[in-house]
Each structure stands twice: as C-alpha cells, then as structure tokens.
Structure 1
Amino acid sequence: MSSTTIKTGLVFSALVAVQLPAHALEFTGYLRGGLGESSGSGSQRCFKLQGAQSKYRLGNECEQYAELSLEQEFVTLDDGSRVGAFGMGSLYNQYDRTPTFNGERGEIRLPQAYGYWKNVAALNGGSLWAGRRYYKRNDISISDFYYWNQSATGGGIENVELGGLKYSLAFSRKDNFNQKDYVNRYDFNVAGFDTNPNGSLEVGVSYLDKPSNRPNANSGWALTLQHKQQNFMGWNGVNTIALQRGQGPGTGLGSTGDNNLSSADVSYRILDFFDWQITPRWGGQVAAVYQKDRRPNGDDLRWTSLGGRLVYGISEQFKFSTELGHDRVQAPGGTRQLSKITLAPTWSPKGPQFKSPTEVRLFYTYATWNRAAQQAADRYDPDSALSSTGAFGSDLHGSNIGLHIDHSW
C-alpha cells in the first residue's frame, strides 16, 4: 500500500472522528465468500473465457471480497446543502490464498476516500466532490460487468440541473491502482433527456490527454449513449441499452485504456439488459453484449455474450435461481467458446426477490468450452480452469459444487 494511500486513510479517519451531535456516523458494507469443490482436483475453479471482459457470476465466484464504508456529514448549511466525507476499505482474496499488501495474492485497499458538498442551492441542487471515488458506475449485475465506469481520483461538479437536464463534469488523473501513468481525463455527462413515456437518455463524453512524461503515448476519447426504459413491455422492470465507441486510450470505453494505442485502435460496444420483478416472487435479468476491438496490428477481437438469471420464490425466505451464460470470442487463432449453467437453491431471509441484500446459496455449476478456448488459456492464463494445466486437465468441461454467501447492509 503506497504512502499516499496511507496518508489519505489517516486524513479520512481524522475527518470521520469529528462527529457533530446532529449528524450520525453511518456504517455500511458488503461481503461475499464461500467454499466449493471442483470435479477436477482441489477447490473450486471459476470459468472465464480469454478475451471476454466478464463472466457470469452465479456459482462462479472464487474469492472472498468485502467492502466496509463510513460516511460522516459534518454540517447542514442554511440552504439545505450538506458537507461530509465518505471512505471505503476493501479486501479481495482468491480462494486458498493469503492476502498481502502488494496485491500479488490478495488486495487490501482504500478504493474510496472523498469529501463532498451536496445539494448546493447555487448549483440548482448539484454537488461538488474531490478525492478517490466510485463515480457513475453502470453495470450488468449477473456478470458484474462495469461497462461504463468513470471512477477515478480527482474531483468535479455533479448533477447541476439546467433546463430539466442534469450536467456533470469531472477531472481525474488515475482511475485504477494498476494504472502506470497519470493521465488527465475529462468526463462530461448530460442526463435527463425525455425520449418517450418512461424513457430517458444520458450522454457521456470522455477525453484522455496523453501523459506528459510519455512522448510516444497518445490521446483518445470515448462516447457513450445510454437509454433506460421504465416499465418495459408493461412489466415492473427496467430495460437498458448502451452504445459506446472509443479510440486510442479511449478504448477503455469510460475508464482509462492503454495510452500506447493510437487513433487507429478503435473499440465499439452495444449492450442490452433487462431487469424485472413481475411479482414479489418472480424476477430476473437477461443481458446481451457485443464488442468489436479493431487493431491495426491484426489482433482484432469480437466478443459476444448472452445470458440470463431466473429467480422464483418458493416461499418468503426460500427461492430457486438458475443462470445460463454463453461467451464467444472471435480472435486470431480461432473462435473461443464457453457455456455455463448454474442451479442454486437459496435461503433469502429478507425476501425472495431477484435482488435481495442477503443470500445463502447451495450451487452446482457445469461448464463446457472448446479447444480454441483451452489453447488461449494455455497461452495467456496457464493453470486457470480452462487451461490444459488446470484443475480439469485436457478435458473440455468441468463442474463445481459449493456454498456461497452474499450480504450487504
């Protein structure tokens, strides 16, 4: 952990210790973990296709993960605005490994530590913020795919309402711990376009300047259009469609990509996912993603993903979840394919709905893949589940059985 991160953590700890009687310190968190066995050898091994940017999660998570968050509002001003601070510590550790501070086996980090001034009257209800923050993250929950994620270390002005629209502008320099170079990134978002009854559109543009210490690096940009439709098809649910295009380091499509890429390196993405909760006991999500990465060196990739999770409540505290997912990557050397299915009877004490804050699952997961997928795993990720040196050897299929806990508060 860097000295900067430690200093930031100490500053935040000092801030949250200054509690005013009228403003309580809020503690929230999230954790997941479990245990499992594979049909190969040893403990559970998870299935992910090389070149795919996500994997379907149910019965396919091989780590302990926790987030612990503290938020303290210090004062409420006369205009109703609030000044406060937020911080989050996280722990990530793969099964059968011991956490370390250098991230080789596990990660103990401070992913969020920022101050804010919310609901400022002079900004028409907008906010100011500065620090390290999860900012405007959009994801497909069944695959944990953050397709539009503008998180970063920086600051900005957010959700300033003008003419019925909400404007946000952020400046940042670093958006992930593994990013080697500091990159000036500017994210501009406009939300609230009413396109049709119950439908709204948001537009986002990112510009990434080239690092001053890298003369051979490049600048880039990305554009995202996202439409959300409430009560889609008359169901109690939300349908989301996103269109994205980026070039150069903008091929991160919202986050900071490789600044060695030039304007000839282009990525396109289109996705659609639908969340529904038709009745208190009948819910789920389906998702489809298509991405094309065009590279002048010939390393073009085309990733297609299609999957869904269906959840049915047997009673007020028990439900049954089924998830089916398929990923396909067209790449030099052949077309890779991976399919997996999971069956999971689940105890859900806070209700049987699709998105429940507490779940304890028994699961069985079966996956099958082709030879091209195995060869890609051998080359890029030896000893992983799909590789010939992994738990399943030369087989092109495998399964896991286990127990998993998912809880937020």
Structure 2
Amino acid sequence: MNINTGLLAALLVSIVFHQDAQALETDGYLRSGLGNSSGSGAMRCFKLQGAQSKYRLGNECEQYGELGLKQDLYTLGDGSVFGVYGMVGFLNQYDRTPTFNGDNGQIRAVQAYSYWNNIAALNGGNLWAGRRYYKRNDVNISDFFYWNQSATGAGLENVNVGGLKYSLAFSRKDNQNQKEVQSRIDFNVAGFETNPKGALEIGLSYLEKPSRQANAHSGVAVTLQHKQSDFMGWGGVNTFAVQGGQGPGTALGSTGDSTLSNADVSYRVLDYFDWQLTRNWGGQLAAVYQRDKRPNGSDLHWTSLGGRLVYGFSERFKVSTEMGHDSVQASGGTRKLSKFTVAPTWSPKGPQFKSRPEFRLFYSYAVWNKAAQAAADQFDPGSTLSSTGTFDSDLHGSNIGLQIEQWW
C-alpha cells in the first residue's frame, strides 16, 4: 500500500535526522515453528468453514512477526507530546519458501501514523492520523478480533469529559485485502462505572455507501462491552460483549461486504475470562454465539466454546492444555469441529498464563463430522477438513511440532 510505505519512510527519515528526539522505543511480536501432521506430512491447521476463528494453541501454520518503532519528536509546553510510529509485519506459511511472490511470504507496513498525545485542551486526549491498529479487542486463545476499528484515517482519542472518555475516528480502508474503499466513522464512549471494578464501553460505527461502487449500501454496527476486574476474586478480568450490525456493518467492528443491504443482519454475544488464580495457575475461557441472517437463505448460526489451562510445575516449566469446539448451523446440516492440544512449555520469565517468551512442544488432535467435510469440499476444496485435503476422507487428524512465541 503506497500510503503506508510513504508514511513509514517519513517516519524513518524523521527519526534519523531529528537530533533532539528522545530515545527510540520498540515493540513487537514473533511466533515461529515447524510441525508435521498424521496425514501427508506437512502440518495443516484445523478451522471450521463458517467459523470466524480457531483455537490456536498447536494450531498455527505460519511464521508471523511484527516490529514497531516509536519516536517522540517534540514535547510542548502543556506537556503534550508529538511523535511518529511505524510497524512492519512479516507473514509466511510453514511449508512455503518466502520468495515474497504471491502467497509465498509478505512484508508490509501494517502501521504508520503520527500522534499528538496528552493534549491539555482535550483534557489529556490524543490526536492521530495515518494507518494504525486502533481499539482492537480480541480473544487471545482463538486470536479472534471481534471488535477491531483499525484502518487508515484520523481521529480524536480518549478525550475526558465528565469522567468519560470519548473517541471519534474517520477511516477509509481496513487492510490491503479490502477491495472497495468505504468511509467509516467510529464513535466510542468508555468509562461508565457500572459496579465496583466494573466498566462499560459503547461503540457505534457508520459505514457510508460507496459512491463509485454498483449495488453498494451503507451500514451500521453497535457494540456494548463490559469489563469486570478481579472477577470472582480470581485476580483476572472478565469481558462480556453484545454486538449487532446491518449491511456492511455485519462485520461487527470493521468494514464488511458493501453489497449487503439493511436486510442482512448479524448479532453476536461473547464472553471470555482471563485469570491468574496463583502464580502457577492461570488460563482463559471463552464462549461465542453469532447469528447471521441473510435474505438469500445463507443464514449461519456459529457457536464456539473453549479454554486454555496453564499450570506451572516450576518457575520456568509449565504445561498448557487447550480444548475448543466450534459448531456452525447452516443449510446442508450442522458442521462440527473439536480440537485438543497439550503443550509442555519452557517459559524463562515465569509460569504465568501470559508470560513470554514460550518455547513449546505441542500435540494437537482434531475430529470433525461429515457436514464439516462437505462444507470444506464445497467452499474450500483441498483444505484441511476437505476430502481432498491432507487427511483425505478421514474425519480426524493430528499435528505435532515446535513453536516459539514472544511479545514485547
């Protein structure tokens, strides 16, 4: 994307030539590994057709990395700070040589924006412009970004008015795979104190009808999200969210198919709970229900339930186990997929659920039904669950492998 490349270049130039700038900060993420399947040899990941996520422990088939650079350039008299941020992302499938041609690897600027933070006139609010990860909410064990307003645009963020934090963003394009440009306005209000250690956030998105696209429509989406700290006294956070959308707003937090009309609606309810009961005992549980109503008869009901339990046997060794089940009710029957993973793990920085880095040995086993196989044959022939995939006509399969994961 040219705009991202240009912004990233401007970021690097400003960092190199601005001699009075403060220290350069870095952040990032890395996961890498290798594995084999009980089928034809190459590791293949298990994901149900129609489900929007998969349980990812021992079920990730790509190398992925991000490196972010942040540079504060100026500090103004009111204490506000102006700076720039850029991030490069790398992606490549396990069994493909990274020639960076077609599907064989990609490197791109996933973020490149400028910011003006802690502005006194905005009661500590921020201004930003560019391409950025913006207000991303995800379920960690399934990597499900259920409310994700990332895009290329500009906005006001966390303006404090009466104890509430208001955010307003205007954007045009979510990612490099979005074929049609569609303007989107996102409005968020956070900080409603509903109960002790509990807070509510409300978000509203409006997607404008593209003027140059035939058969396009506008859309809306709304999200209500409640976070409860120290849930049940377990020292973790419980998140409960309800979402609804029409037309291209059926993506429920990003830009969906602009050809969908107001007759196309989606609803979603989800809950996930992170806990760290003791230093050695932590994990996450998650449940999702989504209903997509389509006038053309392609309705879907997606249900997902899973959890990851992590127990530390010592300060640097822990075992993670994960179980997940997805079910999609659609024309042609109810598709089902269940996956189990066990992963002995070396964790140099401690046994907690979110301690990283982790060096894992994993074994994953999955089982699915004929409806799941038929859907894979119809919509994604050659994929893992299809009869022409790695496991042929079998309705089960397994993977074994090694993986490292780190974030900072």
Bin for the TM-score computed over the shorter chain:
over 0.9
RMSD (CA atoms): 1.1
Question: How much has 1:102 moved relative to structure 2?
Answer: 5.5
Matches within 5 A, 1:25-44: 25-44=24-43
Specify the code of the residue in structure 2 equivalent to 1:261: L
Q: Secondary structure at the match of 1:132?
A: strand
Question: How much has 1:8 moved relative to structure 2?
Answer: 2.7
1:274 paired with 2:235, answer: no
For residues 169 and 367 of structure 1, what CA distance do their matches in structure 2 show?
43
Question: How much has 1:103 moved relative to structure 2?
Answer: 4.5
Question: How much has 1:95 moved relative to structure 2?
Answer: 1.1
Change (3 A) 1:166 1:69: same
Q: Which residue of 2 is the match for residue 218 of structure 1?
A: 217
For residues 143 and 70 of structure 1, what CA distance do their matches in structure 2 show?
27
1:400 paired with 2:399, answer: yes
For residues 235 and 403 of structure 2, what CA distance do their matches in structure 1 show?
28
For residues 91 and 100 of structure 1, what CA distance do their matches in structure 2 show?
12
Judge which range, 98-107 or 7-16, deviates more.
98-107
Matches within 5 A, 1:244-263: 244-263=243-262
Question: How much has 1:29 moved relative to structure 2?
Answer: 1.8
Question: How much has 1:40 moved relative to structure 2?
Answer: 0.6
Q: Which residue of 2 is the match for residue 321 of structure 1?
A: 320
For residues 348 and 28 of structure 2, what CA distance do their matches in structure 1 show?
18
Specify the code of the residue in structure 1 equivalent to 2:335: R
For residues 183 and 245 of structure 1, what CA distance do their matches in structure 2 show?
19
Judge which range, 228-237 or 5-14, deviates more.
5-14
Q: Which residue of 2 is the match for residue 7 of structure 1?
A: 6
- Whether the 8 Å contact between 2:207 and 2:255 is mirrored in structure 1 is yes
Matches within 5 A, 1:7-406: 7-21=6-20, 23-101=22-100, 103-406=102-405
- Whether the 8 Å contact between 1:83 and 1:116 is mirrored in structure 2 is yes
For residues 103 and 125 of structure 1, what CA distance do their matches in structure 2 show?
44
- Whether the 8 Å contact between 1:20 and 1:74 is mirrored in structure 2 is no
Question: How much has 1:238 moved relative to structure 2?
Answer: 0.4
For residues 8 and 82 of structure 1, what CA distance do their matches in structure 2 show?
19
Judge which range, 28-37 or 17-26, deviates more.
17-26
For residues 113 and 18 of structure 1, what CA distance do their matches in structure 2 show?
18
Change (3 A) 1:285 1:189: same
Judge which range, 91-100 or 278-287, deviates more.
91-100
- Whether the 8 Å contact between 1:238 and 1:275 is mirrored in structure 2 is yes
Change (3 A) 1:23 1:230: same
Q: Secondary structure at the match of 1:142?
A: helix
Specify the code of the residue in structure 2 equivalent to 1:371: K
Question: How much has 1:176 moved relative to structure 2?
Answer: 1.3
For residues 22 and 15 of structure 1, what CA distance do their matches in structure 2 show?
9
- Whether the 8 Å contact between 1:100 and 1:108 is mirrored in structure 2 is no
For residues 72 and 5 of structure 1, what CA distance do their matches in structure 2 show?
17
Question: How much has 1:42 moved relative to structure 2?
Answer: 1.6
Question: How much has 1:11 moved relative to structure 2?
Answer: 1.7
Specify the code of the residue in structure 2 equivalent to 1:252: A
- Whether the 8 Å contact between 1:139 and 1:148 is mirrored in structure 2 is yes
For residues 134 and 14 of structure 1, what CA distance do their matches in structure 2 show?
22
Specify the code of the residue in structure 1 equivalent to 2:56: R
Question: How much has 1:10 moved relative to structure 2?
Answer: 1.8
For residues 257 and 100 of structure 2, what CA distance do their matches in structure 1 show?
25
Question: How much has 1:43 moved relative to structure 2?
Answer: 1.6
- Whether the 8 Å contact between 1:16 and 1:71 is mirrored in structure 2 is no
Aligned residues: 408
- Whether the 8 Å contact between 2:4 and 2:111 is mirrored in structure 1 is no
Cα-to-partner distance string for 1:20-61 (whole Å, 9 max, x where unaligned): 446101122211010111011122111000000000010000
Specify the code of the residue in structure 2 equivalent to 1:78: G
Judge which range, 381-390 or 100-109, deviates more.
100-109
For residues 21 and 171 of structure 2, what CA distance do their matches in structure 1 show?
33
For residues 368 and 317 of structure 1, what CA distance do their matches in structure 2 show?
32
For residues 102 and 218 of structure 1, what CA distance do their matches in structure 2 show?
34
For residues 108 and 59 of structure 2, what CA distance do their matches in structure 1 show?
23
Judge which range, 36-45 or 201-210, deviates more.
36-45
Cα-to-partner distance string for 1:211-268 (whole Å, 9 max, x where unaligned): 1102421000000000000111111010000000000000010100001000000000
Question: How much has 1:6 moved relative to structure 2?
Answer: 2.9
For residues 335 and 38 of structure 1, what CA distance do their matches in structure 2 show?
26
Specify the code of the residue in structure 2 equivalent to 1:295: R
For residues 371 and 223 of structure 1, what CA distance do their matches in structure 2 show?
36
Q: Secondary structure at the match of 1:43?
A: coil
- Whether the 8 Å contact between 1:38 and 1:44 is mirrored in structure 2 is yes
Question: How much has 1:104 moved relative to structure 2?
Answer: 2.6
Specify the code of the residue in structure 2 equivalent to 1:386: L
TM-score of the two chains, using structure 2 as the length reference = 0.98
Question: How much has 1:334 moved relative to structure 2?
Answer: 0.8
Q: Secondary structure at the match of 1:375?
A: helix
Query: After the TM superposition, which parts of structure 1 deviate over 2 Å for at least 4 consecutive aligned residues?
Result: 2-9, 18-22, 98-107
Question: How much has 1:99 moved relative to structure 2?
Answer: 3.2
